[in-house]
Amino acid sequence: MNKTMIAGTLIVIIIISSVLIGFSQNWFQSNTTEPEPTATPKPTATSEPTPTTTASPTTTTTATTKPTATTMPTTSPTIQPTTVDTMDLTLEIYGNANMDDKIDNTDLTYISNIIAGSKTATTFADANIDGVIDAKDIDQASAIVTGTATQLNLLDGNGKNITVSLPANRIIVEYIQNAELVRILGLEDQVVGIDYAVDKMRSTYFPNNTGIVSVGNMNSPDYEAVLNLNPDILLTFSNTATAVAEKTSKLPGVDVVFLGLYYPNVTAPEDSQFLQGILKAGYIFNKVPRATEYANWLLNLTSTISTKTSTLTESQKHSVLIYTYPYTTSTTIKEYATLDTLGQVCILAGGSNVAKSLPTYLTASSISIEAEKVLQQDPEYIFLHAVHYTFGGFTYADPQQGMDINDTTSIQSCLQQYKSQSVFANLTAVKNNNVYIIAGDFRNNAMGGVLGAVYMAKILYPDLFSDLNPQAIHQEYITKYLRLDYNLDTSGVFLYPAITVNGDTVGIPNGAS
Ligand SMILES: [Ca+2]
Ligand SMILES: [Ca+2]
């Protein structure tokens, strides 16, 4: 073969490999957080765009860095770092020349040393990404440190190079995670637009910002409405490079940013795009101390749980089935696996996922099996994850749960209905009343699965976690980080049946049943 043929062959191999890796890591699935209506036709089944499979070129952009959008399969909890500073995390912002978790004066020195020849150039040393490392990069890194940069060059949650113009004052947010993150960072008054799901929760999240405009469901936003708001930045929750590129092309002058909140990776924080996203948002919005404080709070909680659950032997672990609440009459269920937040939540909380015996457990977000096969798996605990408002623009009426719900009638009746099905009636979990419906918040809020792990750990191992109070942690999140006037003693349906902790009802309002 001549050189051209060899080069051509290599390119074909690289493209095919990229596509295969992409499929194996679900990079092309746009909708995995959403319950997927299957058997019975529902309005959403036809209105949801099918996951795109034509996204191959964009995956090559990740080749220059570590594969950030992936999650590292872990099957057992391991003891984890308690702060950003003590973990092996490289903040993916250009200017972070010494490749640690922040940009500070040590990076300015590092760039000087690279210019002087005493240090080797690093991936993020070229702060202004012009291809050379010189005094201009010191200027840019210095401007980042002082909060005066007019642009920020970074990798997004898919590992793709992006440039954000600063300051980013007018913000549009898509989906719950981004909405809560802007509250955590104190940016709620800068929000000018929201998607369908956040619009449904606007009185909860933005009680004082009445001028916010809904721009429609995030999968097919009203681009004209977006542009009319004259936003600086759109924090998208579309998790594929293709979808982000499409939004970018349709929104000239708007920085479309996927922070990576889709990928919490609570079992391996060093690889968590979610944590990266929080820190990156700190730099984009000039809120670095607050973002770091919040990331540390999450890490500390994760560490508290993993320190205990990592002591459990396999025989001490309770077996767990976790999947989406069955919104349809399908006889197939999709068990969450290691690439999904809830699969990771189960591992962190010390659960032994019954899906682990299935062939694709380590490489899938979820695995479909026939419901009747669950009898063979016979889990000790079942967790059914519910979603109220989808990012496809649909509201599931029942079971009603979440921050904007106080009445347990719907969730109670859904649980009874579930347990009465003949296919499940003989399961150990059903007979022992260990079936729980859990709120969308446990997966889709800005705690990135940590809240779900807190509740699940308490349910599975009440003795091991005797001093852990899920409601206290949940309330701390709402009061200290979301800064909302909201009391879990009187509001919200998050866990059904509720549990009792130190005589207090946890999961539903006091007095509800
Ligand atoms: Ca640094
Ligand atoms: Ca440069």
Q: 144 and 103 in contact (C-beta within 8 Å)?
A: yes
Q: Give the Cα separation of 216 and 144 in Å (integer).
A: 34
Cα 94 to averaged position of ligand 2 atoms, centre (Å): 9
Supply the pLDDT for residue 35: 42
Cα 131 to averaged position of ligand 2 atoms, centre (Å): 6
E strands present in 58-201: 151-155, 161-165, 171-173, 191-194
Q: What is the CA radius of gyration of the chain?
A: 23
Q: Give the Cα separation of 124 and 182 in Å (integer).
A: 26
Cα 56 to averaged position of ligand 2 atoms, centre (Å): 29
Phi, psi of 256 (to 5 degrees): -90, 115
Q: Is 450 or 12 the better-scoring residue by pLDDT?
A: 450
Inter-axis angle of helices 175-184 and 273-284, nearest 10: 50
Cα 180 to averaged position of ligand 1 atoms, centre (Å): 27
Cα 351 to averaged position of ligand 1 atoms, centre (Å): 37
Supply the pLDDT for residue 2: 55
What is the distance of C-alpha 331 from the center of its chain?
28
Cα 142 to averaged position of ligand 2 atoms, centre (Å): 13
Confidence of residue 57 (pLDDT cuts 50, 70, 90): very low
**pLDDT value at 157 more than 80:** yes
Residue that the structure tokens 């295969």 belong to: 20
The enclosing H or E element of 427 equals none
How many CB atoms neighbour CB 50 within 10 A?
7
19-44: string of b/e by CB count within 10 Å (b at 16+)?
Answer: beebeebbbbbbbbbbbbbbeeebeb
| Burial degree of 11 (CB within 10 A; 0-12, 13-18, 19+) | exposed
What are the structure tokens assigned to 28, written together? 């092309």
| pTM for this entry | 0.87
Domains of the chain: 3-64 (no CATH), 105-290 (3.40.50.1980), 302-506 (3.40.50.1980)
* pLDDT-above-90 percentage for the chain: 83
Map residue 372 onto helix, strand or coil.
helix
Please name which of 99, 101, 439 lies closest in space to residue 278, comparing C-alpha atoms: 101
Cα 186 to averaged position of ligand 2 atoms, centre (Å): 32
The enclosing H or E element of 506 equals strand 504-506
**pLDDT value at 242 more than 50:** yes
Sign (positive/negative) of CA torsion 175, 178, 181, 185? negative
Residues 6+ apart with CB under 8 A from 242: 28, 52, 54, 55, 58
Mean of the pLDDT values across residues 234-239?
A: 97
Confidence of residue 211 (pLDDT cuts 50, 70, 90): very high
- Ligand number nearest CA of 101 is 1
Residues 6+ apart with CB under 8 A from 384: 322, 323, 324, 325, 326, 418, 435, 436, 437, 438
Please name which of 40, 45, 42 lies closest in space to residue 330, comparing C-alpha atoms: 40
Cα 284 to averaged position of ligand 2 atoms, centre (Å): 19
| Burial degree of 5 (CB within 10 A; 0-12, 13-18, 19+) | exposed
* pLDDT, tens digit (0-9, with 9 covering 90-100), for 315-336: 999 999 999 999 988 899 999 9
* pLDDT, tens digit (0-9, with 9 covering 90-100), for 162-210: 999 999 999 999 999 999 999 999 999 999 999 999 999 999 999 998 8
**pLDDT value at 48 more than 60:** no
Cα 89 to averaged position of ligand 1 atoms, centre (Å): 10
Residue that the structure tokens 């026939």 belong to: 370
Map residue 277 onto helix, strand or coil.
helix
Sign (positive/negative) of CA torsion 249, 250, 256, 261? negative
Cα 173 to averaged position of ligand 2 atoms, centre (Å): 31
The enclosing H or E element of 293 equals helix 288-309
Confidence of residue 11 (pLDDT cuts 50, 70, 90): low
- Ligand number nearest CA of 100 is 1
Residues with CB under 5 A from ligand 1 (ion): 96, 98, 100, 107
List % helix, strand, coil for the chain (3-state, nearest 5): 40, 15, 50
Cα 153 to averaged position of ligand 2 atoms, centre (Å): 11
- Ligand number nearest CA of 109 is 1
Q: Give the Cα separation of 33 and 24 in Å (integer).
A: 17
Mean of the pLDDT values across residues 83-101?
A: 96
Q: 361 and 355 in contact (C-beta within 8 Å)?
A: yes
What is the distance of C-alpha 114 from the center of its chain?
36
* pLDDT, tens digit (0-9, with 9 covering 90-100), for 12-43: 555 555 444 444 443 434 344 444 333 333 33
**pLDDT value at 56 more than 50:** no
Calculated CA dihedral for residues 399, 400, 406, 410, nearest 10 degrees = -40
Cα 277 to averaged position of ligand 1 atoms, centre (Å): 16
Cα 163 to averaged position of ligand 1 atoms, centre (Å): 19
What are the structure tokens assigned to 298, written together? 């999450």
* pLDDT, tens digit (0-9, with 9 covering 90-100), for 274-319: 999 999 999 999 999 999 999 999 999 999 999 999 999 999 999 9
Cα 125 to averaged position of ligand 2 atoms, centre (Å): 8
Cα 78 to averaged position of ligand 1 atoms, centre (Å): 26
Map residue 3 onto helix, strand or coil.
helix
